[in-house]
Chains A and B, each alone.
Chain A
Amino acid sequence: MQIHDIPAEKPWSGIIRKGQTLRIIDTCGQQAIDTIFYNAADFGERYSAQDTMQAQGAAYITTGSRIMSSEGRVMLTVTADTAGRHDTCAGCCSCESNTVRFGEPTRHLHACRENFILELSRHGMTRRDIVPNINFFMNVPISPNGAMTIDDGISSAGDHVDLVADMDVLCVISNCPQINNPCNGFDPTPIRVEIKD
């Protein structure tokens, strides 16, 4: 089994082979883990939030959710989830969107988009390859009137989600550094990723 400890606010990437299980552990609780998957053999095929929501007919990711690609294929399947539900509508934070949400003084705070750009550059990809991601352990309720907000996380220390890969995938993570809203309990923390055969 591979164990990868990811420090607070840092990115990570790794390959999960078909049939392997990816376990993402919210080590300390209430930590948003921004995640994108790419077909390891063809980075042009990547996670699609809209295909995933359409396929399951619902907005939140949880046990049983099929993680769909831009080509309409199953990339991974969620087989366990001790937290309850995960967001895939709200995307990742960026310096630029922080200025819109929280004002110009927040421009020069570290953000997930910075993490994704740097981690993707290691794989020959660019900002253009960043697609709307999954926010594991992020609580973004959507009301029937459309209102959405980022609320306090519902995950506890040690909560985890398991995903079995249906194809070889590159998993790219930004361990979210946001401190302007409750997605990380205002205190970004380390996380752990395990890959099991």
Chain B
Amino acid sequence: MMPHTPRPPQAIAADRARYEDHQRRGLTFAPKAPPTPSPLQAPPPVDPLWHRTLPGGWYDVLTMRPGQVLRLQSQGLGGCVSLAAWALRDTSERLNLPDTVKVQWTTDLRKGRVLFSDMGRVMLAITEDNSGAHDVLTGGSGRTGAGTPAQRNTRDNMILAAAKLGLDRRDLPMLMTFFAPVRVDAAGRFFWNGTLLSGTDWVELRAEMPLVLALSNTRHPMDPSTAEVPPVMLTLQAAGAVDDDDLCRTASAEAIRGFQNNVRG
């Protein structure tokens, strides 16, 4: 066995006290405001640049400039959107969900939360969200092996989407899936809570740096339905002013420090 000289007890006690202070604030005070859900009925988009539909089973890629807002709106139950994101200037910087949930002390990503890259910077802010019914833990569907081309899956879609951005499977991060109400019980087991969705659910994501995104609208593997996957409407809205007290930028000490890293560059 290798020898080990413990750190001084005073140093350990100081680090523990500092962590417990972060933990107390992170678990009890964030986010700043209770995440009041967006209304069930989405208002008309503000200054839309384009609309397009993402058919069930398919993928899309797009570029976002800072401040632009992407609306995702399901067009029926069963449409869900898996998301991957990369920094436009250097795609080795990408969405990092473990950091995202760890630094915000929650796997419940909803209105008011932000999505981090592996470089400690904020990529996207969840500015609107009526359902809060999203999955960060279980990902999309894998390859089924046999089957017809119509039996599309998230994994293939993401490899195809990545290819069209000049990327490959090595670039794929863990995926966040919107409109996928995966929840965890006290024993750590996952279950699907379909009652959280209405079929017209919507979220808006604001780009906080220049980004490229890959989206896949495929049946979530935990969704018990076997119906055809409906389309999801995508709407990109022009960048607007962001207030100094913007919820996503001020919701927690961690979000504030993340945005400081964006400024740091």
Contacts and interface: CB of A to CB of B under 8 A. Distances in A.
The judgment on whether A and B are partners is yes
Interface of A: 5, 7-8, 27-28, 44, 48-51, 53-54, 57-60, 70-72, 85, 89-92, 94-104, 113, 126-132, 142-150, 179-182, 185-187, 189-190, 192
Interface in B1-22: 1-4, 6-7, 11-12, 15-16, 18-19, 22
A146 B99 contact: no
Contacts of A185: 12
Interface stretch (B59-67, B134-142, B197-205, B228-236): B134-142
Contacts, number: 175
B92 A128 contact: yes
Nearest to A192: B1
B120 A94 contact: yes
Contacts of A130: 118
Contacts of B87: none
Contact of A70 (B97, B108, B172): B172
A149 B27 contact: yes
A129 B172 CA distance: 9
A107 to B, nearest CB: 9
Contacts of A143: 184, 186
A57 to B, nearest CB: 5
Contact of B1 (A5, A58, A60, A186): A5
A7 B190 contact: no
What bracket does the count of chain B residues touching chain A fall in?
A: 35 or more
Interface stretch (B40-48, B49-57, B69-77, B254-262): B254-262
B22 A102 contact: yes
Contact of A180 (B3, B18, B26): B18
A148 B101 contact: yes
Contacts of B121: 96
A97 B120 contact: yes
B221 A146 contact: no
Given A58-B187, A97-B120, A146 B107 contact: yes
Contact of A50 (B103, B139, B261): B139
Given A8-B4, A101-B102, 12 more contacts: A5-B1, A44-B169, A48-B139, A57-B189, A57-B190, A60-B188, A71-B143, A72-B142, A90-B101, A91-B97, A181-B19, A187-B6
Prevailing SS type, chain A contact patch: loop
> Which are the 8 A-B pairs with shortest beta-carbon distances?
A91-B98, A146-B108, A50-B139, A96-B120, A190-B2, A72-B142, A59-B188, A186-B12
24 contacts: A49-B98, A53-B138, A85-B188, A89-B101, A91-B102, A94-B120, A96-B119, A97-B102, A100-B116, A101-B254, A102-B22, A103-B257, A127-B92, A128-B170, A128-B171, A132-B97, A144-B185, A148-B107, A180-B15, A181-B19, A181-B22, A187-B7, A190-B1, A192-B2
Given A48-B139, A50-B138, A148 B106 contact: yes
A144 B106 contact: no
A47 to B, nearest CB: 11
Contact of A101 (B22, B139, B168, B189): B22
B110 to A, nearest CB: 9
A141 to B, nearest CB: 8
A132 B98 contact: yes
Contacts of B171: 128
A102 B15 CA distance: 11
A99 B97 CA distance: 17
Contacts of B18: 102, 180
Interface in B88-121: 92, 96-99, 101-103, 105-108, 116, 118-121
B174 interface: yes
A126 B92 CA distance: 9
B137 A59 contact: yes
B247 interface: no
A38 B190 CA distance: 26
B183 A186 contact: no
A186 B106 CA distance: 22
A27 B23 CA distance: 27
A180 B15 CA distance: 6
A189 B2 CA distance: 9
B107 A89 contact: yes
A149 B26 contact: yes
A94 B22 CA distance: 17
